[in-house]
């Protein structure tokens, strides 16, 4: 993921909040919900005080964890992972000591945990992983606990509202009806597709943004023939068919995706869909053939770049910044980048967001997955009350009230500052000693996955900003807000289709998944390029099934049957 993309996605989507912090004193924590189902702590802590986040342990309670690090994890003021502004906050405010047993680069994290598991070494009290295969292995080991009763007893009303707001939220971490982890979220809809069109080109040609495939083709042909950008190098429709590296995924990239072409015909590639009460792989559904024929036709007509199969998202971003791309389907945050680069490079250029075009009144596209594994709690951990006290307080940082603890961010002079004139700033240059993100130090980053997009959509529709989050959103770019409104409208209309399988990689996925994804990518690109006939799709489906697809289909449907019970 591009660094610019990451930062802009965060800037466009994240909202903070808070719960006002009071504190009570008492002695050390509980012996575990299994052994002490009715008491929140050995000496006096009530479940009510834990839920409200007003409790403080007089004798500090230790919670051990482990961390996967990356290049974005930075420190200041001589701090470390074990001793920093956030660990000090937890100790001072809650009587909770966060102890990091070890930290390794992200690519080594899974291996180290698997080795510990194999050697039967002592594991941390809590850990967060986004890797569903690792999460499944840890749960199957029996060393981590069912938190169903703990969540019901200790979670704050805000946590319960967030986690119970959508049936998908618990789906990745529910095993046999038991909640085996606290779900970890990304921002829902972050990469959901919106059509961005060169408005200056439309205006120059006296055309309107296309609402149907027929109108889209007319606009693309006009861009190609009339060259409103004054160049022969125009690309009417930007597509990153070369995304995915060694695992080609031509149609569902985060910039220049084309899942909507197939969605208008009745399928979404590269994800599992519910059809007639069973899960089927979208890339094998018959409608794929018609979608491939459509893209092949567009390629032959010159609507796509002749090198689209080599373009990944970052290369496409360069082409957009050069002013060569007329239409691209991309996330709502594209108004920040690469649009801003394009406007710097090409005077008068502007891209505006519009809903996806329909075919015979129909349109569908992928709904980007926001589920990211979860936080596991060790079975014999004795202080679940302390963990939920911590979680309840940090989840106060979601959509805050004025004057609340985390209303501006996690820590003053770290991820934000208050300037001499009393104004708030998150600008790097304004923050003494530079900007760092204490969110990286948390056990889990608290999010309501849907609220960021919905708040932006509401402001776009004209809602007067009242809350701190709405006021921050209101000063952002109008095109980004309009794009968020389009995404929210798409959710309401059922346009965005979620991934139907949210479990861990099945045995067949682990052994055959790479081969099958490569087969998909190679076959589809060759069909679009005209190197293979469209009828080759039928042979692909047969080969996909025989190479392991049938086994995967059986496994995901076994999972689906259990989930429905």
Reported as type and span, the H/E element at residue 459 is helix 451-460
Nearest to 132 by CA among 451, 559, 565: 559
What residue ranges define each of the domains in the chain, with the CATH number in brackets?
Answer: 47-187+371-396 (3.40.190.10), 194-366+498-564 (3.40.190.10)
Reported as type and span, the H/E element at residue 6 is helix 3-13
pLDDT value of residue 219: 98
Separation of alpha carbons 143 and 76, rounded Å:
36
Q: Is 268 exposed, middle or buried (0-12, 13-18, 19+ CB in 10 A)?
A: buried
Strands across the sheet with 325-330, in order? 235-238, 325-330, 194-198, 351-354
Separation of alpha carbons 296 and 388, rounded Å:
54
**Model's pTM, two decimal places?**
0.88
**pLDDT mean by block of 10 residues, the chain; 565 residues:** 44 36 39 39 68 95 96 93 97 98 96 95 96 92 97 97 93 91 96 97 98 98 94 93 75 94 97 96 97 98 95 95 97 94 96 98 95 96 97 96 92 96 92 95 96 96 94 91 98 96 90 93 95 98 98 96 77
Nearest to 8 by CA among 390, 476, 507, 506: 476
pLDDT value of residue 245: 61
Return all residues near 108 (Cβ < 8 A) that are at least 6 apart: 68
Instruction: Report which DSSP code applies to 235.
Output: E
Return all residues near 225 (Cβ < 8 A) that are at least 6 apart: none
pLDDT value of residue 247: 58
pLDDT value of residue 562: 82
Q: Is the dihedral of CA 305, 309, 310, 316 positive or negative?
A: positive
Instruction: Report which DSSP code applies to 401.
Output: P
Reported as type and span, the H/E element at residue 159 is helix 157-163
Separation of alpha carbons 283 and 295, rounded Å:
15
Instruction: Report which DSSP code applies to 335.
Output: G
Separation of alpha carbons 259 and 159, rounded Å:
33
Separation of alpha carbons 26 and 44, rounded Å:
6
Neighbours of 534 (CB within 10 A): 15
């Amino acid at each position: 993921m591009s660094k610019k993309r990451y930062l802009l996605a965060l800037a466009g989507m994240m909202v903070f909040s808070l719960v006002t912090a009071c504190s009570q004193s008492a002695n050390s924590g509980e012996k575990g919900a299994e052994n002490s189902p009715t008491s929140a702590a050995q000496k006096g802590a009530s479940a009510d005080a834990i839920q409200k986040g007003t409790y403080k342990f007089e004798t500090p309670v230790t919670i051990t964890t482990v961390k996967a690090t990356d290049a974005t994890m930075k420190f200041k003021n001589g701090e470390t992972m074990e001793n920093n502004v956030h660990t000090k906050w937890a100790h001072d405010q809650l009587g909770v000591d966060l102890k990091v047993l070890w930290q390794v680069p992200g690519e080594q994290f899974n291996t180290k945990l698997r080795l510990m598991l194999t050697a039967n070494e002592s594991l941390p009290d809590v850990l967060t992983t986004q890797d569903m295969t690792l999460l499944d292995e840890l749960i199957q080991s029996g060393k981590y606990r069912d938190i169903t009763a703990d969540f019901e007893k200790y979670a704050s009303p805000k946590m319960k509202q967030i986690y119970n707001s959508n049936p998908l939220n618990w789906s990745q971490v529910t095993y046999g009806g038991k909640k085996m982890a606290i779900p970890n979220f990304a921002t829902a809809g972050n990469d959901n597709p919106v059509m961005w069109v060169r408005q200056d080109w439309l205006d120059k040609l006296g055309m309107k943004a296309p609402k149907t495939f027929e109108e889209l083709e007319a606009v693309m042909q006009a861009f190609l023939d009339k060259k409103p950008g004054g160049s022969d190098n125009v690309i009417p429709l930007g597509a990153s068919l070369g995304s995915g590296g060694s695992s080609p995924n031509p149609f569902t990239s985060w910039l220049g995706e084309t899942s909507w072409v197939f969605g208008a015909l009745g399928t979404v590639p590269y994800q599992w869909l519910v059809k007639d009460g069973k899960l089927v792989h979208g890339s094998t559904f018959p409608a794929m053939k018609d979608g491939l024929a459509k893209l092949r036709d567009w390629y032959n007509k010159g609507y796509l770049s002749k090198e689209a199969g080599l373009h990944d998202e970052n290369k496409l971003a360069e082409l957009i910044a050069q002013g060569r791309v007329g239409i691209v389907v991309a996330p709502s945050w594209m108004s920040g980048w690469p649009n801003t680069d394009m406007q710097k490079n090409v005077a008068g250029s502007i891209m505006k967001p519009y809903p996806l075009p329909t075919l015979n009144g129909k349109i569908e596209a992928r709904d980007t997955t926001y589920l990211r594994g979860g936080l596991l709690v060790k079975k014999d951990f004795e202080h679940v009350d302390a963990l939920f006290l911590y979680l309840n307080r940090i989840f106060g940082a979601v959509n805050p009230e004025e004057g609340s603890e985390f209303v501006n961010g996690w820590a003053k002079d770290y991820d934000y500052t208050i300037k001499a004139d009393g104004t708030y700033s998150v600008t790097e240059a304004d923050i003494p000693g530079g900007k760092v993100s204490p969110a990286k130090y948390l056990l889990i980053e608290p999010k309501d996955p849907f609220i960021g997009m919905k708040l932006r959509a509401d402001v776009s529709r004209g809602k007067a900003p009242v809350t701190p989050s709405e006021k921050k959103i209101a000063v952002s770019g109008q095109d980004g807000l309009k794009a968020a409104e389009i995404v929210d409208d798409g959710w309401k209309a059922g346009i965005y289709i979620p991934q139907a399988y949210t479990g861990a990689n099945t045995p067949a996925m682990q052994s055959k998944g790479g081969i099958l994804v490569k087969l998909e990518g190679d076959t589809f690109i060759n069909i679009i390029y005209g190197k293979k006939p469209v009828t080759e799709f039928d042979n692909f489906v047969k080969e996909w099934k025989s190479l392991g697809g049938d086994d995967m289909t059986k496994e995901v449907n076994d999972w689906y049957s259990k989930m429905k019970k």
